Amino acid sequence: MSAEQLGDRALDILGRLIAFDTTSRLSNLALIEWVEAYLADLGVASRRVPNAEGTKSNLLATIGPALPGGVVLSGHTDVVPVDGQPWTSDPFALTLRGDRLYGRGTCDMKGFLALALAAAPDILAAQPKRPVHLAFSYDEEVGCIGAPAMIEVIARELPRPALVVVGEPTNMEAVTGHKGISTFIVTVSGKEAHSSQTQLGASAVMAAVQLMGSLSRLAEKLEREADPASPFTPKGATLTIGQVNGGTAVNILARECVFVFDLRCAGAMDPEAVLSDFFAEAQALDATLKARFPEAGVRVERRSHTPGLNPEPGGVAETFARRLAGDNGPPRAVAFAAEAGQFQQAGFSTVICGPGSIDQAHQPDEFVEVSQMQRGAAFMSRLAEWAATAE
């Protein structure tokens, strides 16, 4: 089948995938069930790797023979929320306007999933001599939480794949580096009292503001110390506070304040070392609060840690992706984090290459250009040809 026909099939599948609201706070099982049924109709078996609660799941499937030397096509099924965003069309209905396909997840990253699934019939028809593994994850958008268990199964139980392609949006160009991300939840507990009687209580919000101020100053320091030769944009490590919740009324000293922040580092920079002074300050504040009120204090929890992707000059994955994408451009690195670093940490040669631009990700009216899906279809068509050849 031609790349054009594969692309048409991918658009139909994309519409089905977009219709599933897989915002990270929700289950992705309805989408997983649909993919399982689609693959089963093709005679392709799949396997779930669920979370502990059974409410979400990764999905693994192998198209072709159970032999080493295959390629893993990896992508996440979850999407970010649309709450409060001014969408001009239904975010969970694929909408074509001009040369753009709108919908939550079109570029980040159900477009790639649709292309991988659309390629399955062509790979099978080519009588593959090398396998193509599908690895679809959950909870990437909240710290790459779901993929590690799936990667462990791949490393332990599958014939060793030669490489991994993670289909995050890169305009169908090979990307060989990304920053790592660590996320932290800080819970400050205080003592409630009337706001006119500050001697009788301790405001968790006021204490949290001290810690957030320290993080803000650290973010400015990291920006000043950025290496001008860094391939990333922004060049240095970045720190942002993304959520703050606390207090019940303006005239009550707040009993609790919770905030969440992320730190994105490149290369060998150790997040724990970067935050060492902050951790010490939080510990000291914890002791101060507890000295006044035993129930008060500060707790810092690391919610997630995703390693960065380090470039592999001349690596198998980059060479493969460039050949299939027709990419002769310069080396590239991206500031966003992805599951690619987790695959690399497990010992797999890994590259990022997928349709769409990160500039459209997480935005209202998220879209992927039709031309990007067409380029992706050409990539997958060449992949089917590759699978049909012996090493």
pLDDT band at 313 (very low <50, low <70, confident <90, very high): confident
Whether the predicted pLDDT of 130 surpasses 90: yes
Mean pLDDT of 239-255: 97
- 200 token code pair: 């009788």
pLDDT of 390 strictly over 80: no
CATH number for the domain whose boundaries are 180-306: 3.30.70.360
Residue type, 207: A
Cβ atoms within 10 Å, residue 307: 19
Instruction: Look at residue 314 in the predicted model and tell me its pLDDT.
Output: 85
Is residue 129 scored above 90 in pLDDT?
A: yes
Told to judge if 140 belongs to the known catalytic residues of this protein, a careful annotator would answer yes
**What does CATH list as the number for 3-177+308-387?**
3.40.630.10
| Contact yes or no for 327/321 (Cβ under 8 A) | yes
Q: Which of 122, 140, 318, 366 is catalytic?
A: 140
Q: What is the mean pLDDT of residues 241-249?
A: 97
* Active-site annotation holds for 78: yes
**Lowest pLDDT segment from 32-36, 176-180, 201-205, 312-316:** 312-316
Q: What's the pLDDT score for residue 266?
A: 83
Residue range 136-158: mean pLDDT, rounded: 96
* Percent of residues, the chain, with pLDDT higher than 90: 95
| pLDDT (0 to 100) of residue 112 | 98
Mean pLDDT of 221-233: 92
DSSP 256: E
pLDDT (average), residues 85-90: 98
As a whole number, mean pLDDT of residues 225-229 equals 91
- CA end-to-end span of the chain, whole Å? 23
The residue from 36, 78, 262, 286 that is catalytic is 78
- How many residues are recorded in the chain? 391
Residue 2 has pLDDT above 90, yes or no: no
Q: Any idea where the domains of the chain sit in the sequence? A: 3-177+308-387, 180-306
Long-range contacts of 269-275 (CB under 8 A, 24+ apart): 269/237, 271/180, 271/182, 271/305, 274/218, 274/222, 274/237, 275/184, 275/218
Instruction: Please tell me the predicted confidence (pLDDT) of residue 1.
Output: 59
Contact criterion met (CB below 8 Å) for 28 and 146:
no
CB 343 within 8 A of CB 337: no
